[in-house]
Structure formats: structure tokens, C-alpha cells
Amino acid sequence: MNLKKVGRYTILGVLFFLPVTFLLLLYPATHNYNPLDIVNENVIEISNFSSTKETHVTLKDNITVLGFLGNKPMLKTTTASNLKELVYDKFKGFKKFQIVIVLPNGTEEQAEQLKKEISQYEDLKYWHF
């Protein structure tokens, strides 16, 4: 037997079986498939709040991300943009998903500016201020 051929086939065998073995080790992992826990069961509705849209915002039977951006929401543009890119874009296909941003009275104009800023490329149908 030629020592050069044995070395070549050994290297090719290792390069093939090492990734296959790694994938087989990852296969039984179940942490990505478990459903998320419910944080709170009895959440009070936000019925006393007004929305920038005509639709009524309810928390019951919805997957809701609730946020507060403070008195100056335009200073939190990066935070809102990250929330849109990392959370909203990933889950907007769910019919019961929504993001609700709570803002104090008097910040409606800044909320509209923020909404225009983060919705430059697509509609924010399930995003409520």
C-alpha cells in the first residue's frame, strides 16, 4: 500500500465524518423547540389608554411586547429600531402578535416621527403607540 494514498483517504474521511458527527451531536438538542413560558396570567387591560390608530388595542389573547420609551421617544430611535429588527420582523407573521409602546400625553408628535423613522421600508401593521 502506498503511504500517500492512506494519508489522503484518512484526511478525506476525517473531513467528512467530523462535521457529520458534530451534526449528530446537535440533533437531540430540544432547547429551540420548547414553547415560551407565560410571564403573567392575569394582566389588566389597557382600556384607559388612547391609541394613535383607530383600532382598539387589547392584551387578552395576544402575544404582546409592551414597552415604554419615556418622555422623549425620539432619543430612543436606536432602541425602537433594534426592537423592530430583532423582534417585530421575526414574529410579525403571527396574527396574534403585537408591539405596544406606552407613551405619556404630549408625545404624540414625537411618536409619529419615530414611527416614520422606523417604518421607512415596511408597514408596521402590528405596532401600536
Query: Residue 26: its pLDDT value, please?
Result: 81
Mean pLDDT by 10 residues, the chain (129 residues): 84 91 80 65 72 73 81 82 80 79 82 80 76
C-alpha distance from residue 82 to each of 76, 77, 88 (Å): 10, 9, 9
What integer pLDDT is reported at residue 78 of this predicted model? 82
* pLDDT computed for residue 34 by the predictor: 61
Q: What's the pLDDT at 36?
A: 63
Which cell is 111 given? 411618536
Can you give the pTM of this predicted structure?
0.62
Indicate the pairing of strand 63-68 with strand 97-102.
parallel
Domain ranges (residues) in the chain: 36-128
Q: ∠116-97-36 over CA atoms, to 5°?
A: 130
Residue 88 CB coordination number (10 Å): 21
For position 17, what pLDDT does the model report? Answer: 92
Q: Are 114 and 71 in contact (CB under 8 A)?
A: no
The residues, ordered by sequence, that sit 6+ positions from 128 with a Cβ below 8 Å of its Cβ are 51, 52, 53, 55, 57, 98, 99, 100, 101
